[in-house]
């Protein structure tokens, strides 16, 4: 199926209600390179949409799952990927908020809009469609919408990933996990709202609620960490200290004002930060998924009011590297999912503000590489080697 110049589908009516065969990068097992396969994508079920993806990008979470770092979450064969943008090809029964031709961004943390969680202003989780790393099937019937012929000639199901599965030319999403965006918004940039930018910027704006003049430390300057810095910059933070083992990631373009190379620091990082900030920062953000780094982030905040926001994906079954009594000095710690944004109800407004110039998010600063989808394994290699922030793949 082709798309016309503005990304809308040229012949969606001819495929509505029928299976579609397309290319997908299938993960057959932990640690194995993705295999480009022809998969069959079933029509959308009730409250589902089928989307022609135009762009997808790669996140460290994809890399972690591909490597099989958490044995409890292994499920293969599987189509990974959770950052993307595309156009609705068809909709299933009961879908009222989306139609064929709509431009959408998939989100791994869905929003049905009707459950007690969605109606609460205290959480961005959804009772049914919240992020669930153990989930590998669709919510409506517990089945998959992907299938592939394996080496023995047998057709077998291919499992879903994080409500999205974007490493394919077509995917099927719960309508709760598809956000309609401005039709003229550049989809190669909008795909970053599926995870990295929304998570980091939202952590700064919603979870921490950074105020003008605050001091901030960001541990791990990948895409999420730099998105935190970008969010802090936009909120007027006075000082944004970046901490990483790769000095090449220090970029003032993204708001980082100071840099600490944790390998060359010569003392515990939290001690260096306390010296730099007269007792510690107001907010710290842990974006690495490493327990020792989480402890340094916690200790780098000021006693009495410091807040640490956990964004890194930590291995199971490791526990928090803190003693409960350490919380009695006034420091606080909290987790954050998808930047505490309610995706379907709040992201469209973010996009509209970017389009009308009211909000100047530096999307271009995150995109270090652009490649065809067929080069996806090369893109994974660049990410693992620390040579890319976001590699945007075009179909």
In the residue annotation, 82 being an active-site residue is answered as yes
Dihedral sign of CA atoms 113, 94, 49, 174 in order: positive
What's the CA gap between 101 and 7, in Å, rounded? 8
The answer to whether residue 60 is catalytic is yes
- Residue 55 and residue 166: Cα distance in Å, rounded? 9
Whether 112 is catalytic is: yes
Strand-by-strand arrangement of the 283-286 sheet: 258-261, 239-244, 215-219, 283-286, 307-310, 332-335
**Has 126 been annotated as catalytic?**
yes
* Residue 165: closest CA among 194, 197, 202: 194
Please tell me the distance from the alpha carbon of residue 117 to that of residue 123, in angstroms, as a whole number: 7
Helix%, strand%, coil% for the chain, nearest 5: 30, 25, 45
Clarify whether 61 is annotated catalytic.
yes
The reply to whether 332 belongs to the active site is: no
**Catalytic member of 48, 50, 78, 82:** 82
Selecting among 112, 177, 191, 287, the annotated active-site residue is 112
- State the catalytic residue, choosing from 15, 56, 61, 144: 61
Q: Which two tokens stand for residue 250?
A: 């220090």
Give the residue among 92, 112, 120, 222 at the shortest CA–CA distance from 163: 112
Q: Which of these, 302, 383, 376, lies nearest to 37 by C-alpha position? A: 376
Q: Which residues pair with 216 in a beta bridge?
A: 240, 283
257 is catalytic: no
Q: Kindly name the residue from 78, 130, 270, 331 that is annotated as catalytic.
A: 130
- Angle at the Cα of 249 (from 243 to 252), degrees rounded to 5? 90
Catalytic residue among 32, 115, 251, 257: 115
Catalytic residue among 191, 195, 287, 354: 195
- Do 21 and 50 contact (CB within 8 A), yes or no? no
Pairwise CA distance, residues 355 & 102, whole Å:
17
301 touches 274 (CB < 8 A): no
Q: Is 390 a catalytic residue?
A: yes
Judge whether 115 counts as a catalytic residue.
yes
Q: Is 270 a catalytic residue?
A: no
Indicate which residue of 103, 235, 314, 390 is catalytic: 390
Identified catalytic residue from 22, 59, 287, 336: 59
Residues taking part in catalysis: 59-61, 82-83, 112, 115, 118, 126, 130, 195, 390
């Amino acid at each position: 199926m082709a798309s016309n110049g503005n990304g809308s589908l040229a012949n969606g009516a001819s495929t509505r209600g029928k299976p579609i065969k397309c290319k997908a990068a299938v993960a057959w097992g932990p640690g194995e390179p993705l295999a480009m396969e022809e998969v069959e994508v079933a029509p959308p079920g009730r409250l589902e949409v089928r989307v022609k993806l135009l762009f997808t990008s790669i996140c460290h979470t994809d890399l972690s799952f591909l490597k099989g770092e958490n044995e409890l979450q292994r499920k293969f064969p599987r189509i990974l990927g959770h950052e993307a943008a595309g156009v609705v090809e068809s909709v299933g029964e009961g879908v009222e908020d989306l139609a064929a031709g709509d431009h959408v961004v998939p989100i791994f943390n869905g929003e049905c809009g009707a459950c007690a969680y969605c109606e609460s202003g205290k959480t961005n989780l959804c009772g049914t469609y919240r992020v669930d790393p153990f989930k590998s099937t669709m919510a409506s019937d517990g089945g998959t919408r992907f299938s592939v012929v394996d080496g023995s000639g047998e057709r077998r199901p291919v499992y879903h990933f994080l409500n999205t599965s974007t490493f394919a030319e077509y995917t099927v999403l719960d309508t709760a996990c598809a956000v309609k965006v401005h039709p003229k918004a550049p989809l190669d940039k909008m795909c970053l709202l599926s995870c990295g930018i929304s998570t980091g910027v939202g952590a700064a704006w919603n979870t921490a609620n950074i105020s003008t003049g605050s001091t901030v430390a960001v541990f791990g300057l990948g895409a999420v960490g730099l998105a935190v810095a970008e969010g802090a910059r936009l909120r007027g933070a006075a000082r944004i200290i970046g901490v990483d083992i790769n000095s090449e990631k220090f970029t003032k373009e993204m708001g980082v004002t100071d840099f600490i190379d944790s390998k060359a620091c010569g003392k515990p990082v939290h001690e260096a930060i306390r010296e730099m900030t007269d007792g510690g920062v107001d907010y710290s953000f842990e974006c690495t998924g490493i327990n020792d780094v989480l402890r340094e982030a916690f200790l780098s905040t000021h006693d009495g009011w410091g807040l640490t926001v956990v964004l890194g994906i930590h291995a199971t079954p490791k526990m928090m590297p803190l003693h409960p009594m350490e919380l009695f000095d006034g420091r606080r710690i909290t987790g954050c999912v998808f930047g505490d944004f309610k995706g379907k109800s709040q992201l469209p407004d973010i996009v509209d503000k970017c389009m009308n110039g009211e909000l100047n998010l530096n999307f271009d600063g995150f995109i270090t590489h652009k490649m065809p989808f067929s080069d996806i394994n090369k893109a994974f290699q660049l990410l693992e080697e620390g040579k890319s922030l976001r590699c945007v793949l075009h179909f």
